Amino acid sequence: MTDPCQLFEEWFAEARASEINDPDAMTLATADAAGRPSARMVLLKGHGPGGFVFYTNEQSAKGEQLAENPRAALLFHWKSLRRQVRIEGVVERVGDEQSDAYFATRARDSQLGAWASDQSRPLDSRATFEDRFEQAKSQFEGKDVPRPPYWRGYRVIPERIEFWSDRPYRLHERRLFTRDGSGWTEGLLYP
């Protein structure tokens, strides 16, 4: 039996070697309490047997949707490899210590941008955002930029992981791993 976390690591390593841009880019799909879906691209910032981690503003549309409905789907599409990985599972918030540690590794302007942005909220003009960025720059001049209290990490804990490989004539290979207690069951799906 294959370990899907190990298989993901192998595929991800190949993607890092072959994808021109952002091999860590993944589609994050969420839904609100009424079931209205939404999808957007985010970057994978950590992964392992415990799940797949990304960071965002918890007051953004995705953060609000995850608060209402803590389930999500992820999709990696590596065109150069003709592969994709689909992940579905429950979502938990990453602890403050881990969120702080990751935030500290971000570029300073990205840190300042997190303070300046009311992510997903209406913006009257680009100039307003640029002014807010300059205000944040002044506020933290000569100091470390702390993580905003509304900015944090989320972990998708996989219940299902599908590995899709392109094959000629649409005779694709689909391997599905489903969480079974503390382990996994493996099967195939018709293309």
Q: pLDDT tens, 121-134?
A: 899 999 999 999 99
Which pLDDT score, from 0 to 100, does residue 140 have? Answer: 97
Helix ranges (DSSP H) in the chain:
4-18, 61-68, 96-105, 108-116, 126-139
167 is catalytic: no
Of 18-22, 83-87, 111-115, give the lowest mean pLDDT range.
18-22
Residue 110 · residue 130 · CB < 8 Å:
no
Instruction: Report whether pLDDT(1) > 80.
Output: no
pTM for the structure as a whole: 0.94
The pLDDT confidence band at residue 174, using thresholds 50, 70 and 90, is very high
Work out the mean pLDDT of the chain and round it to a whole number: 96
Q: Per the residue annotation, which of 167, 170, 174, 179 is the catalytic one?
A: 170
The pLDDT confidence band at residue 160, using thresholds 50, 70 and 90, is very high
Determine the average pLDDT of the residues in 90-98.
97
Instruction: Report whether pLDDT(70) > 70.
Output: yes
Give CA–CA dist 124/77, Å, rounded. 34
Please give the domain boundaries of the chain with CATH numbers for all domains.
4-108+150-189 (2.30.110.10)
Four-residue CA torsion sign, 121, 53, 172, 16: positive
Determine the average pLDDT of the residues in 1-16.
93
Give CA–CA dist 24/141, Å, rounded. 31
